[in-house]
Structure formats: structure tokens, C-alpha cells
């Protein structure tokens, strides 16, 4: 590569002012009006002008110091030779331009993420669902060959089917052989002379498909179910990607889920809580009895074993926790009011003493606050 610093007679660390001063001095000495018009002087004047054009421009000088020659026809390292070529020459293409094989035209398709909305009962027990997905499928006309029926890919005339071409480039390291993907076939080694008209040479088309999935018991919001190989078909009939179903559980009117356990509130009359009773409540498994002992207090929890949500992948089920809410009656008439006064008298509660309860919410209130993010 031409040494422009030597042509101008300056050091490599010369300042822009020193370079400019040296150029002006040489330009005056070599100008045709001063030095005449002999061929050698004209050529020297051109070299000096070219050297100043590079070194007098900060960007060009920086490129030149890195080994490029901005004044060359390629405008870069020895006519278009770059650092990527250097890397490939010494590390990616051992032996100074070893050939690469052609790139496969068929590639794996992308994965798809589909939301699956479920009711609490479906999440608790599992369910079989049919879902519709819009995705890429194998072209029915060409079967993934990308070619019009009756035709086939043709070997690339430019690279001879190698998928890459070699060229010699001049760099600051000397002459080196580099390998690049063939621009004619895009590195595939073959070209499609007559693309399939249905898929436009893609080997796949868009279509709506129906997928069947067995949702296991115990899934929850955020659970992902993988359907291997059910995603979109890759270009040129490449392997299909996967479909991921992300579960979103709908809110239930009665039950609150915490893990695999369920929580519900059962409202009972004051008399039933005081005297005890057996009530019937609706669960995910149908009607079940809830046994209230005499003197049941507000906030007390009755646990029904095994009536919660199924444990994902391990079997068994969580529990249903019933939180008792005691309803205080309002006397409907004088007779009911008198009965309550008589009860208060029997219990010595005509003038009860006010007692402050502990400052903490009930179990279900704490659960509700936690689920609400409070």
C-alpha cells in the first residue's frame, strides 16, 4: 500500500497543520507553472495531491491508519477487503479460502404462543379442547419443493452448486483469498427456475388448523402446555416449530383459588352458628354437607378434604376451606325483639362490657387482601 506519509515527508504522528504545511510546500514546488510539465513531475504532483486528499481528511486518515486506502477504487481495504474478510480468512475459512457447503433451503419454522382461557372446573379437573390456530402449513401443490409441479431446482451456474464464491483481495496483509455467499443463489447452491405459483416459491402457505389438546388437571394462570411440532412449517418444507398454550383461568363467582386449595365463604344465621347445624353447599364436585358445631364463631374455617384443585402431574387434590360468616339478625317485629331481650337477660348481657378485639383480620380477609395485592 502506498505510504502517503513518506510522499508528504511527514511523520505518522504529524498534526493536521504540519500535514497541510508540507502539502502546500510540495504543491508550490511541483506546480506545472514552477517545475514545468515533464511526465515525472506531473506524476509526483498527482501523488502529493492524492496523499493530502487522504491525510488531510480526518476520517480518511483514520481509515488509512487502520490499513485501508480510501483513494483506491474500492474505497476500503485493498478494494473492498474488510475485517470480516480477515476474520473469515484466518478463522472461518482455514487454508485461505476453504469452500463452505451450500446452505440448506429448508429451515425450521417458528414457534407460536396461543392463549387458552379455562374455567376453574376445567383447570381443576382437566379438559379436552379443540383450538383453532392460523399458521403456515406445507404447500399442497409443491409439497415443499418450492417449484412448479413437474420442475425441480437447478444447480447455480455462478457457484456451481457450492453456495459460495471465492475472490482474491489486496489488503494490508497482502493478497488473500476470501469466500463469500453466492449472490446469484443466496448461498443455497441451487436456484428455482419456475417457482410454485401457490406458495410463490416458499414451500408453505397460510392456513387455519384445528389442534386437539388434553389439558391436565391442576393447571393455573401462566401454565404453558407445549405441543411439539404443531407450530408453523419452515420455509421449503422445513421442520415445524412448536405451539405453546398459555393458560389463563377465569375468575370464579364463588371460589377463590390459592395454589391447589379453594376458599369459599358460607353465610349462616346466628341461631345456626349458636346451636349448630348441618348445611348443604355447592362445590365443584356437586352438593356437599358442612357440619357446623354448636357455638361456631364468625371467621371459623371448616375444611373439606380433597375438594380443591388437582395437583398438577402428581395426582391427588387440594382442599376446600369454608369460611363461616355469621349473619346478625335484625328483629322483624316486637315479638322477635322481646325474644332477643329475654336471651340477653338469660346470658346476663343486658349491659355488656365493651371489649376490644385483637387488631388482625380474619383468615379469609387476609387471603382476599393478599390476592388483591394489598
Q: Residues annotated in the binding site for Zn(2+), as ranges?
A: 139, 142, 156, 159, 182, 185, 196, 199
CA distance 57 to 63: 10
Annotated binding-site positions = 139, 142, 156, 159, 182, 185, 196, 199
Regarding beta strands 243-249 and 112-118, do their DSSP bridges make them parallel or antiparallel, or are they unpaired? parallel
Alpha-carbon distance 14 to 7, whole Å? 13
* Residues 309 and 247 sit within 8 Å (Cβ to Cβ): no
Using N-to-C axis directions, what is the helix angle for 16-30 and 39-55, rounded to 10°?
Answer: 160
Supply 114's cell numbers: 396461543
Cell of 152: 425441480
Quote the CA–CA distance of 217 and 197 in Å, as a whole number: 46
Which grid cell sits at 44? Answer: 509526483
Q: Give the DSSP H/E element, type plus range, for residue 40.
A: helix 39-55
Q: What is the Cα–Cα distance from 104 to 188, expressed in whole angstroms?
A: 6
Residue 223 grid coordinates: 401454565
Structural contact between residues 112 and 243, judged by C-beta atoms closer than 8 angstroms: yes
Within 8 A by CB and 6+ apart from 247, the residues are 116, 118, 123, 215, 219, 220, 221, 222, 223, 224, 225
Sequence-distant (6+) residues with CB within 8 A of 306 are 316, 317, 318, 319
Residue with cell 419456475: 194
**∠ at Cα 8 (6, 11), nearest 5°?**
60
CA neighbor of 244 nearest in space, from 362, 321, 347, 135 = 135
Q: Where are the alpha helices (DSSP H) in 235-278?
A: 270-275
Amino acid at each position: 500500500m502506498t505510504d502517503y506519509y513518506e510522499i508528504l515527508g511527514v511523520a505518522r504522528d504529524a498534526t493536521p497543520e504540519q500535514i497541510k504545511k508540507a502539502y502546500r510546500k510540495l504543491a508550490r514546488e511541483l506546480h506545472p507553472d514552477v517545475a514545468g510539465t515533464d511526465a515525472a513531475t506531473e506524476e509526483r504532483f498527482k501523488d502529493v495531491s492524492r496523499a493530502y486528499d487522504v491525510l488531510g481528511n480526518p476520517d480518511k486518515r483514520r481509515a488509512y491508519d487502520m490499513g485501508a486506502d480510501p483513494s483506491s477504487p474500492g474505497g476500503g481495504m485493498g478494494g473492498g477487503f474488510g475485517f470480516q474478510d480477515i476474520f473469515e480468512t484466518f478463522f472461518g475459512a482455514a487454508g485461505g479460502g476453504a469452500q463452505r457447503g451450500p446452505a440448506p433451503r429448508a429451515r425450521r419454522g417458528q414457534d407460536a404462543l396461543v392463549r387458552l382461557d379455562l374455567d376453574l372446573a376445567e383447570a381443576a379437573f382437566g379438559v379436552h379442547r379443540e383450538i383453532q390456530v392460523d399458521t403456515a402449513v406445507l404447500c399442497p401443490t409443491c409439497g415443499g419443493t418450492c417449484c412448479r409441479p413437474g420442475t425441480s431446482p437447478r444447480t447455480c451456474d455462478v457457484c456451481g452448486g457450492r453456495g459460495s464464491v471465492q475472490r482474491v483481495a489486496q489488503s494490508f496483509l497482502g493478497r488473500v483469498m476470501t469466500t463469500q455467499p453466492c449472490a446469484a443463489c443466496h448461498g443455497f447452491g441451487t436456484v428455482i427456475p419456475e417457482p410454485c405459483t401457490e406458495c410463490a416459491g416458499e414451500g408453505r402457505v397460510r392456513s387455519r388448523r384445528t389442534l386437539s389438546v388434553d389439558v391436565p388437571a391442576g393447571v393455573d394462570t401462566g401454565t404453558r402446555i407445549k405441543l411439539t411440532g404443531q407450530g408453523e412449517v419452515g420455509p421449503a418444507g422445513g421442520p415445524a416449530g412448536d405451539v405453546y398454550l398459555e393458560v389463563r383461568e377465569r375468575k370464579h363467582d364463588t371460589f377463590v383459588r390459592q395454589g391447589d386449595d379453594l376458599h369459599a365463604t358460607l353465610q349462616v344465621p346466628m341461631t345456626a352458628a349458636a346451636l349448630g347445624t348441618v348445611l348443604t353447599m355447592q362445590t365443584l364436585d356437586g352438593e356437599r354437607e358442612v357440619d357446623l358445631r354448636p357455638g361456631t364463631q364468625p371467621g371459623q374455617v371448616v375444611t373439606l378434604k380433597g375438594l380443591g384443585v388437582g395437583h398438577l402431574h402428581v395426582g391427588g387434590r387440594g382442599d376446600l376451606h369454608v369460611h363461616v360468616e355469621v349473619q346478625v339478625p335484625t328483629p322483624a317485629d316486637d315479638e322477635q325483639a322481646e325474644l332477643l331481650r329475654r336471651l340477653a337477660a338469660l346470658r346476663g348481657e343486658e349491659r355488656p362490657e365493651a371489649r376490644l378485639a385483637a387488631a388482625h383480620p380474619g383468615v379469609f380477609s387476609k387471603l382476599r387482601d393478599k390476592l388483591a395485592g394489598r
